Amino acid sequence: MLALSLAVALAGPPAPAAAGCPAAQGGTLAIKVEKIVQPDGKLGAGGWIVVKGGRLEAVAAKEAPANAALLEFEHGVAAPGFIDPATALGATGEVAEPARAFTPEVQASDAFDAEHSEFKKAAAGGITTVGLSPSSSNVVGGRIAIVRTSGEQGIAVLSGPGPLRFALTGAAFDGERAPTSRMGALPQLREMLAGKKLEAPGPCLVDAATADEIRIALETFEGAGKQVALLHPNGFADADDLLDDVLKKGAVFAVVGPFNLSARERELALPTKLADRGVAVAFTAGGNAAKLRLTAALAVRSGFATDRALQALTTVPARVLGLDDCGSLEAGKRADLVVYDGDPLDLASTIRLVVVGGAPQEHAVPAGAAPAKEKS
Amino acid sequence: MKKEERERRGETRSSRAAAPSLASTLLCLCWMGAGASAPAQTPLAKQELTVLQGGTVHVGNGDVIEGGTVILKGSHLDAIGKALAVPEGAHVVDVTGRHVYPGLIDAESGVLLDVDATGTGEGQPAASIVDAIDPFQKDERKLAWSGGVTTIYVAPHRGLLDGSGAVLKLRPARAIDDLVLKRDFAVTATLGANVDRPTTRLREWKMLLDRLAATKKYMEAWDDYEEKLADYKKELEKQKKEGNTKIDKKEEGPKPPTPPEQRPEERPQGPDGPGPGGRPRRPRRPPSGSLLPYLFPDSASVPPLHLDGDGDGDEPEGDGHDCTKEPPRLSWKDGVSYAEDGGAPAGGEKKEDAKKPPRPPRDAQTETLRKVLEGKLTLRVQLSHAADLQNVLDLRQLYPIDVVLTGGTDAWKFASVLASSEIPVVYALAADAAPDVAAVPAKLAAAHVDFALTADDPGATSTRFLALVAAVAVAGGLDREAALAAITSVPARQLGVGDRVGTLEAGKDADVVVTRGELFSSSVVFEQVYVDGKPVLAR
Amino acid sequence: MIAPLLLGAALAFAGDAPPASESIVLQGAEVDVGDGNVFKPGSVVITDGRIAAVGPTPSVPSGAKVVDCGKLVLTAGLVDAASQLGTFRAEGFSEQDSEVIPQLDVADAIDYFSKDFEQLVRDGVTTIYITGEAASVISSRGAAVKTGGPLPGRKLAATPCVKVTLGPESSYRGSANQPPFRFGDLTMYARRPTTRMGSVWVFREAFHDALHYRQTGKTDKDPAAMKALLDVLDGKVKLRFQSREAADIRSAQRDCDEFGLPFALEYGNEVGECMDLVVAKKIPVIFGPARDGDGRTMRFEAPLTAWQTPKQLAEQGVTFCLTASDGSGDTGLARQAGFAIKNGLDRARALRAVTADAAAMIGLDKKIGRVAEGLDADLVLWNGAPFDDTSRPVLVLINGHPVLDTDGRLRKENP
């Protein structure tokens, strides 16, 4: 699994105690960086990050433990591994089950393909956890599986019931099956939400695109005492004047993205608008690391605060998925971290090291483009 | 962004306060509008001299001046350097802690273009993109400025061989011509699957080669014609000297009523009597070839005649656009020596019976391609496969043409060839490129390929994110100043406007960008943008 | 000329939210109460979004802002009792999984952000009752909604009412009711009745099923639907028939007689052909929409006398109101009243037919439909005689909030 020697090689100055002492085998790994992304999304002072037994033992320590394998990054910036809450990673076309509109029993973990290369690519790009989610083709789509893109035991699905995925967009009513309309679906949905069947950790992830879909989603789920994470709520982009009114209904999370270079101004301004109104924003890009970083970069270029952007890639998606052991670099949390050679939000920064569940990963910087950069 | 937000909020406030009265609401909105746009123009427009002091100046050619000074004089850059004296009366702007860059140049943009207008189907090389530009697209210009872009290249993109593209300066202008830095710069050939015509690469290349072969033939026909024409005229001269005025026995047209003293521009326009065989003839220039020596004994003193619009029905076919501007390879002599349609074939005649050679047909589309083969127009080949690249190299063996590659995902595979054969590249990089693709610009740089960077996205909105695209190349290993050059000085040179834009050097256009934060950072804020010395963006 | 007069109004409505106790007085050249009383000139006092007083010189609370509305004419906001606007067209409205869906509520299909509402406000319509779609034989319960104003106050509690359609829409296989073509005939849509006979059968079977459910407590149908049908049989939910042709009206009567059910008629284009029945059975009629020229809605076989039906209904003492259905603008509700007036209906009666009588039809006459004390301040200010071709609403208030400005600009932000 581990390629510590490679990681050391990339780190520049060879670490003396590295050989034969992989952290994955119970040893201790210490990584020195210049800056560390704090849980509040700000860049804080660096130091040694100590990894042991797949967990973070210490963050920003002054000194490395005596017996640890050492990795030093001169201009390194350590960030928590990114989390993409709604992907179809490794299961494109396998997570859309259109036979029935209400499929709460369906579990995306059954579509999980541990050998799929997309997970490795995501890990190499700095995404350490993804939500493998049923598609938007059902009103109640089923359980989202939480997948670690790598780790000591390999790519794995977290056990236990995952969060639920819902949809109130057109795709959920498309096809030859009952109900064919939102009007027909809502009574059944309310009944289900009132029952015990739909208990889940974290908020309900609900696809709602237009302004009124957002309104009815918030109304319906709030009525049942559930928290909502709105997925792709682009309707807000066109309904500025009603944003406050609708959000009073209790939107807590919004999952937005991906953005590309063709995105409209209003779309790119959406994260800021939502965050200004107290909604915690998470980014998604279908598990594609480059697209996820571009999404964050475009939001930042359009005025989204950098601390919010970093949270939107780490702590917020962790909360959306109901996870409390990842998303931030704090002692005791899972050792999912990425070392960049600059600000993680800058597209000019390169990944120097990815650690998933305590295991340093071989990453995908092509040999031809050896990071021979010198920062001024 | 923030300014827009302020405007929007201000607007909301004003409309709320003025409701529900029409008059006051409208007035208020007008006032807001005026207030928002005016300050950017007036205060600095009066300043002849603007001095940007204390910033980190990135010249664009690799040089960086810490704490440098940039002096803008009128529409041009006056001086750039360290510790320069501030001229008297200058408007000094303190840009300490800021970065100063030349205006960025997008080597392939969709700004100001109507997507439909640029689609030219199978290809109309004679068309010009300038005719598809909408100078009233002010929002797109502002968006480009908001990303520090001041100069762009635009071209049609859909046909196999499209009309010529143009280099535009994004300046506040109302007319198209105010925007154009260089028109008819290059012809684009689009190859590969990402175009909406039902075809295969096999057929595409065949079509392209056929077009060029036909152009070659066309050129040869005209060269041949001109050669023969010259011979013919020489013969005329000779016969004139010999006193033999009867040149062409078959030419029986009556003498024109033009008196010898008539000015050339007053040449007859209308019908001038019955044609050969007594049938009424359409308006036609007299068989002037034979009359020339009579009318203008000293042919050298005759002013040049305009080719078109003389109503003789002999104008070249096509839109005539290029011919009007620059009559290709036609001297005035050709103009007055048009042969009769279907005139007798040239050659095989005795010298006494010298015949004018028949004039080949003229075709505007082919005329444009002829310019390509003559090296007057660059051929920009847009492609996506390495195999196409090989074809381009072969093409260059066949014809001595100037080629620029655009797109070029696989270009790095041929990097050394591109470098040794000096083929410039406009590399289209996706902002969400995977690491191996992001590394291509670095590989091109390592192989010394001359390349500019643009976004792999045809939309108008991508231009404003040009710096992000270059940032991706930096992540791929490209040196920062080289990445800057790839969106400033290199495209300027490739587009033939390197003497005016692309670097911060004295004498060039005062297109300057001031940012808070480094250009390749995501949190960069474009604070000030100057175009031709005028501030077009300030926040 | 109107704008300066309303500058006062501008001031009155400025600011984020007028203090709850603040009153506004609108002084108009004419206030048409809607019950036959007209004050010339008249004033309306608005407090807390409701009408506090109305009359030639009502007592004005101290501190009230007085707005001189000049020559404008004040009426109550128009009410459409059988609208088809304001819902999701694409996927949300028409539930196709059954012919019998009385358990569903149109309220779940309303798109509060629909552009339809903007047009309705421009037409002076302040409340619509959206009835179920005609694609089902027994369609869903309708819902009443204000066309503008703050979101929380827009939904109204109207008399629950289920719509029945015996033909032709519920058995029509044309474009409006077509199943997704890719499924061909072997689909759940193939169960749909294709004749009026079939639709009637579905209707009768449904109520017999409901009665069976009541007796046995068992059903192989959706129990929620059965319960909803029992509510209809118990009179808790009213029944409405969408009937364009006289034959539909007669079969509606026959079918309801079987179960002892009262009903109202929606549209009733050919009600003139069976006026005797309507009068004898005292069937309320929501008449319309009459449309100009090409007879798109008025079926081509409808006789010319149909244009005079409103006048005849009034003369015969039938309870009726007018609807524009999915029409707006040139075919909107104000124009429906205009057509009725042109064809002989009394002006005052025409106003009632699109305000007070329509409100009564949906059980909201204690809340909306007149300019009277205690009712919602839903008001339209016209720049001339209401429903004249040369008149239009120049200011529309919903719950006292201006939703249409004098300049025809919609006020979308929440007051």
**Which residue type does A196 have?**
K
Q: Which amino acid is at C329?
A: G
- 3-class SS at C31? strand
Per-residue pLDDT at C3: 40
Residue A21: per-residue pLDDT: 38
- Three-state secondary structure call for residue B408: coil
Kindly indicate the confidence band of residue A310, based on its pLDDT and cuts at 50, 70 and 90: very high
Contact A256, A235 (CB under 8 A): no
Given a contact cutoff of 8 angstroms between Cβ atoms, the answer to whether A134 and A171 are in contact is no
Higher pLDDT, B241 or B253: B241
Q: Determine the average pLDDT of the residues in B312-336.
A: 39
pLDDT above 80: residue B399: yes
| CB of C223 less than 8 A from some CB of A | no
Q: Is the pLDDT of residue C194 over 80?
A: no
The whole-angstrom distance between A74's CA and the closest CA on chain C is: 53
B99 against B331, higher pLDDT: B99
Residues 6 or more apart whose CB falls under 8 angstroms from that of C317 comprise C279
With bands split at pLDDT 50, 70 and 90, how would you rate the model's confidence at B43?
A: very low
Instruction: Report helix, strand or coil for C62.
Output: coil
- CB-based burial label for A108 (10 Å; 0-12, 13-18, 19+): buried
pLDDT confidence tier of residue B44, bands split at 50, 70 and 90: very low
CA of C47 vs chain B CAs: smallest distance (Å)? 19
Give the model's pLDDT for residue A240: 64
Least confident of B330-339, B413-422, C224-233: B330-339
At B196, the pLDDT band (50, 70, 90 cuts) reads low
Query: From CA A236, how far away is CA A222, in angstroms rounded?
Result: 19
- Interface residue of A295, A346, A352 to substitute, partner B, most B CBs within 10 Å: A346
CA–CA distance, B311 with B282 (Å, rounded to integer): 10
Contacts of C3 in chain B (CB under 8 A): 21-23
Q: Which of A302-311, B460-469, B496-505, C305-314 has the lowest mean pLDDT?
A: C305-314
Q: Identify the top-confidence range among A133-147, A237-251, B382-396.
A: A133-147
Q: What is the mean pLDDT of residues B195-213?
A: 74
Residue B317 has pLDDT above 50, yes or no: no
CB C306 within 8 A of CB C272: yes
Strand partners, B51: B71, B92
> Which of B259, B271, B330, B321 shows the shortest CA–CA distance to B296?
B259
Mean pLDDT of all residues belonging to chain C: 83
Q: Which residue has the higher pLDDT, C298 or C367?
A: C367
Comparing A183-187, B517-521, C397-401, which segment has the lowest mean pLDDT?
A183-187
CB-CB under 8 Å, A290 with B433: yes
Average pLDDT over residues A74-99: 89
From the list C202, C77, C71, the residue with the least C-alpha distance to C135 is C202
H-run or E-run covering B27: helix B22-45
Residue A7 has pLDDT above 50, yes or no: no
* 3-state secondary structure (DSSP) of residue B400: coil
* Averaged pLDDT, C276-283: 94
Average pLDDT, chain B: 73
Average pLDDT over residues B116-132: 69
Is the pLDDT score of A270 beyond 50? yes
Three-class SS of B457-486: CCCHHHHHHHHHHHHHHHHCCCCHHHHHHC
Instruction: List chain A residues with CB under 8 Å of B434.
Output: 121, 290, 364
Q: Which of B41, B34, B44 minimizes the C-alpha distance to B7?
A: B34
pLDDT exceeds 90 at position A318 = yes
Contact C113 A216 (CB under 8 A): no
Contact state of C407 with B26 under an 8 Å Cβ cutoff: yes
- Which DSSP string corresponds to C186-246? SSGGGGS--SHHHHHHHHHHHHHHHHHHHHHS--SS-HHHHHHHHHHHTTSSEEEEEE-SH
Q: With CA atoms as reference, report the closest residue to C192 among C135, C248, C265, C119.
A: C135
β-strand A204-207 against C143-146: which pairing, if any?
unpaired
* A357-361, B192-196, C1-5, C300-304: least confidently modelled range: C1-5
φ, ψ dihedrals at C87, nearest 5°: -120, 175
Q: How many C-beta neighbours within 10 Å does residue A366 have?
A: 17
Please say if the pLDDT value at position B272 is more than 60.
no
Describe the strand order of the beta sheet including C161-165 as a list of residue ranges. Answer: C138-141, C161-165, C238-243, C264-267, C285-287, C320-322
Segment C86-110, tens digit of pLDDT:
887 654 467 777 889 999 999 988 9
Q: How many Å lie between the alpha carbon of A306 and the closest alpha carbon of chain C? A: 30
Report how far residue B172's alpha carbon sits from residue B139's, in angstroms, rounded to the nearest whole number.
11
Return the amino acid letter for B289.
G
> Which pLDDT value is given to residue C378?
95
Secondary element (H or E) of residue C382: strand C379-382
Bridge partner residues of A284 (DSSP): none
pLDDT > 60? residue B255: no
pLDDT tens, residue by residue, C200-237 = 999 999 999 999 999 999 999 899 999 999 999 999 99
B413 lies within 8 A of chain A by CB: no
A neighbours by CB contacts (3+ pairs under 8 Å): B, C
Percent residues over pLDDT 70 in chain C: 82
pLDDT classification of B471: cutoffs 50, 70, 90 = very high
Q: What is the enclosing helix (H) or strand (E) of C249?
A: helix C246-259
In B, minimum Cα distance to C4 occurs at B21
Q: Which residue has the higher pLDDT, B331 or B223?
A: B223
Q: Which tens digits make up the pLDDT trace of C61-88? A: 888 888 888 889 999 999 999 998 988 7
Position B308 pLDDT exceeds 70: no
Residues of C in contact with A178 (CB under 8 A): 96-98, 188
Model pLDDT, residue B244: 62
Please give the residue that has the higher pLDDT: either B233 or B197.
B233
pLDDT for position B122:
60
The reported pLDDT for the residue numbered B423 is 87
Query: Cβ–Cβ of B436/A364 closer than 8 Å?
Result: yes
Residue pairs spanning A and C at CB distance below 8 A: 86
A366 and B143: CB-CB below 8 Å?
Answer: no
Q: Which residue has the higher pLDDT, B359 or B40?
A: B359
- Rounded average pLDDT over C9-35: 67
- Residue B297, preceding bond cis, omega within 30 degrees? no
What's the whole-model pTM score? 0.78
**For the ranges A108-122, A263-277, A340-354, the one whose mean pLDDT is highest:** A340-354
Q: How far apart are CA B155 and CA B153, in angstroms?
A: 7
* Coil vs helix vs strand at B437: helix
- Number of H helices and E strands in chain C, helices first, is 11, 20
More confident residue, B61 or C172: B61
pLDDT at residue A238 in the model: 67
Tell me the mean pLDDT in the region B110-115. 78
Please state, as a whole number, how many other Cβ atoms lie within 10 Å of the Cβ of residue A2.
Answer: 18
